[in-house]
């Protein structure tokens, strides 16, 4: 076979939300950097948010492209251009978006049959790609955009059901390498009981277990105990090839261009950061799809103001007029005049902000991408988990790698629900003062996260653990292709 025929062709299929699309597109770009011919399947509005970065990769000589599939807006009743959980303006639209995935199945299946790639990397939300892969006799790799720790945590609760035999409101995660205790109220409903999502999660899990393996945006030095647990106790084959954001987003254009929903160049916030001292600013963000209730946002505002520290706060509401209810009287004006706080209503250039030397910490909802992006810059965190697997991620940060200070959230909620518990302004103030105050505890945390930052960098360099895993995987996939070709 000549080298062109030998070239590995991989198709990537991300799910329609930034927290899944961003890391999978980054992953696809990493493969393209290493001589793999890459196609990413997206719909037009989402495609446009990555095109700039992909164009730059093509100019650099990489074989990468986006294949855009028409989005069935009219069929599901969504306005033109609304194609992700990040741009919907009501919860009803989330259901419509989910329905669109069913309609996209046929054209995507057809595309894969026509194009006959050597491998499919698909998000957990597309379990049926396993059938296509089997029909084409190619491997399907499942993409999981979260930590090993959280997947092990979910498994542990499902299998051992510690909440059923607990005689208090606290449970221990049975058989874990570290002693981990959680409130029963912090465990996701879908692991504890049967919910409307249980059947869907079972299908996803089953397709993952039957897939060739799982691609993980993590690195060995960060999660080695849980990587081991995942592979041995849970019995899944996995490759840690992260942090992918660190690997591909190396310059300002990459950092600004990535999923820039509002098309801002970020200069205002960077100018503001330029006027601040080293490590003096706290970046506060609850991810791309969280909407906190006004009562909670007010407590955060009071707490941030009382802390006396500078901050950037990304506040997201679905509708313009909802912003009026959030802030205490005169808060926005005071923050602007004193230059103490920079408020971003909408979408922030997150990796650009985290990369700035003035940024010294982050308040995060514990989405795995935000955690890694913060760790890549050596920033300690205040943890504020809300839904999905975020409470497991919090425990990993506070009790395993010890680079986070708990924000004090006690109750897991379903995505889109407001929940009933409230973190009070005094608790916010205390956590911010601890993290940003420069005391001994904060300095120890900063040292630990600084070491992880260095290890993350090494992992993605030639000879590093993620680099080696990627090379092993590419070679393995090439061998499978050769075997298939001679059969």
Q: Which residues does the annotation mark as catalytic? A: 20, 123
Is 256 an interacting residue with respect to ligand UDP (CB under 6 A)? no
Q: Give whichever of 129 and 285 is closer to ligand UDP, judged by the CB atom.
A: 285
Q: Give the Cα separation of 170 and 125 in Å (integer).
A: 31
Binding piece for ligand UDP, criterion CB under 6 A, among 60-68, 95-103, 286-294, 404-412: 286-294
Considering only 127, 139, 287, 341, the residue that binds ligand UDP (CB under 6 A) is 287
Is 285 an interacting residue with respect to ligand UDP (CB under 6 A)? yes
Q: Give the Cα separation of 270 and 355 in Å (integer).
A: 10
Q: Give whichever of 140 and 255 is closer to ligand UDP, judged by the CB atom.
A: 255
Binding piece for ligand UDP, criterion CB under 6 A, among 155-163, 171-179, 285-293, 446-454: 285-293
Q: Give the Cα separation of 68 and 426 in Å (integer).
A: 49
* DSSP state letter for 377: T
Residues between 22 and 81 with contacts to ligand UDP, criterion CB under 6 A: 22
Q: State the number of binding residues for ligand UDP (CB under 6 A).
A: 17
- Kindly state the smallest distance separating residue 270's Cβ from ligand UDP, in Å: 14
Q: Give whichever of 186 and 212 is closer to ligand UDP, judged by the CB atom.
A: 186
- Kindly state the smallest distance separating residue 406's Cβ from ligand UDP, in Å: 18
- In angstroms, the Cα distances linking 419 to 88, 340, 415 are 20, 30, 10
Sheet with strand 381-383: strands edge to edge? 341-345, 310-315, 281-285, 359-364, 381-383, 404-406
Helix (H, G, I), strand (E, B) or coil at 341: strand
- Kindly state the smallest distance separating residue 8's Cβ from ligand UDP, in Å: 27
Q: Give whichever of 287 and 360 is closer to ligand UDP, judged by the CB atom.
A: 287
Q: Which residue has the tokens 């025929």?
A: 5
Burial of 188 (0-12, 13-18, 19+ CB in 10 A): buried
Where would I find the H helices in 116-250? 129-136, 148-160, 162-165, 189-192, 198-210, 220-232, 244-248
Q: Give the Cα separation of 267 and 356 in Å (integer).
A: 12
* DSSP state letter for 320: G
Q: To the nearest 10°, report the CA torsion of 267, 269, 271, 277.
A: -150
Burial of 427 (0-12, 13-18, 19+ CB in 10 A): middle
Q: Give whichever of 377 and 429 is closer to ligand UDP, judged by the CB atom.
A: 377
Per-residue mark of binding to ligand UDP, 361-400 (x: CB under 6 A)? ------xxxx--x---------------------------
Q: Give whichever of 122 and 348 is closer to ligand UDP, judged by the CB atom.
A: 348
- Kindly state the smallest distance separating residue 314's Cβ from ligand UDP, in Å: 5
Residues between 224 and 253 with contacts to ligand UDP, criterion CB under 6 A: none
Q: Which residue is nearest to ligand UDP (CB)?
A: 19
Interacting residues toward ligand UDP by CB under 6 A:
18-19, 22, 285, 287-289, 314, 347-348, 350-351, 367-370, 373
């Amino acid at each position: 076979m000549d080298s062109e025929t030998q070239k590995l062709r991989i198709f990537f299929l991300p799910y329609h939300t930034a927290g899944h699309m961003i890391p999978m597109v980054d992953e696809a770009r990493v493969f393209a950097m290493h001589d793999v011919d890459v196609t990413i399947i997206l719909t037009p509005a989402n495609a446009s948010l990555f095109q700039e970065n992909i164009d730059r990769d093509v100019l650099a000589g990489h074989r990468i492209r986006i294949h855009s599939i028409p989005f069935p807006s009219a069929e599901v009743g969504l306005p033109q251009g609304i194609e992700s959980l990040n741009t919907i303006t009501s919860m009803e639209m989330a259901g419509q978006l989910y329905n669109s995935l069913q309609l996209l199945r046929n054209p995507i299946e057809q595309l894969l049959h026509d194009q006959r790639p050597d491998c499919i990397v698909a998000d957990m939300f597309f379990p049926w790609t396993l059938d296509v892969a089997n029909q084409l006799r190619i491997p399907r790799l499942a993409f999981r955009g979260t930590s090993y720790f959280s997947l092990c945590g979910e498994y542990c609760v499902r299998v051992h059901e510690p909440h059923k035999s607990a005689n208090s409101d606290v449970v221990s995660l049975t058989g874990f390498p570290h002693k981990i205790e959680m409130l029963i109220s912090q465990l996701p409903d879908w692991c504890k009981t049967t919910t409307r999502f249980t059947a869907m999660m079972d299908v996803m899990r089953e397709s993952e277990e039957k897939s060739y393996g799982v691609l993980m945006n993590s690195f060995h030095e960060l999660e080695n105990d849980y990587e081991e647990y995942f592979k041995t106790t849970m019995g899944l084959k996995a490759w840690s090839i992260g942090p992918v954001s660190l690997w591909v987003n190396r310059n300002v254009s990459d950092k600004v261009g990535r999923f820039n929903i509002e098309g801002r160049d970020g200069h205002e916030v960077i100018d503001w950061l330029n006027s601040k001292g080293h490590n003096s600013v706290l970046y506060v963000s609850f991810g791309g799809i969280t909407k906190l209730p006004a009562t909670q946002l007010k407590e955060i505002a009071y707490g941030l103001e009382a802390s006396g520290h500078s901050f950037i706060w990304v506040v997201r509401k679905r509708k313009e007029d909802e912003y009026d209810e959030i802030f205490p009287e005169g808060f926005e004006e005071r923050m602007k005049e004193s230059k103490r706080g920079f408020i971003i209503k909408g979408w922030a250039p997150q990796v650009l902000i985290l990369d700035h030397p003035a940024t010294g910490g982050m308040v995060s909802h514990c989405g795995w991408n935000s955690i890694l992006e913060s760790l890549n810059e050596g920033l300690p965190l205040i943890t504020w988990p809300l839904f999905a697997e975020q409470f497991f991620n919090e425990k990993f940060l506070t009790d395993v790698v010890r680079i986070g200070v708990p924000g004090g959230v006690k109750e897991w909620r379903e995505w889109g629900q407001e929940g009933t518990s409230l973190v009070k302004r005094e608790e916010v103030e205390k956590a911010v003062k601890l993290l940003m105050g420069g005391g001994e505890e904060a300095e120890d945390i900063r040292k630990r996260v600084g070491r992880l930052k260095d290890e993350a960098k090494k992992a993605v360099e030639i000879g590093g653990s993620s680099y080696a895993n990627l090379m092993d995987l590419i070679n393995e996939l090439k061998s499978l292709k050769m075997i298939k070709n001679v059969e």
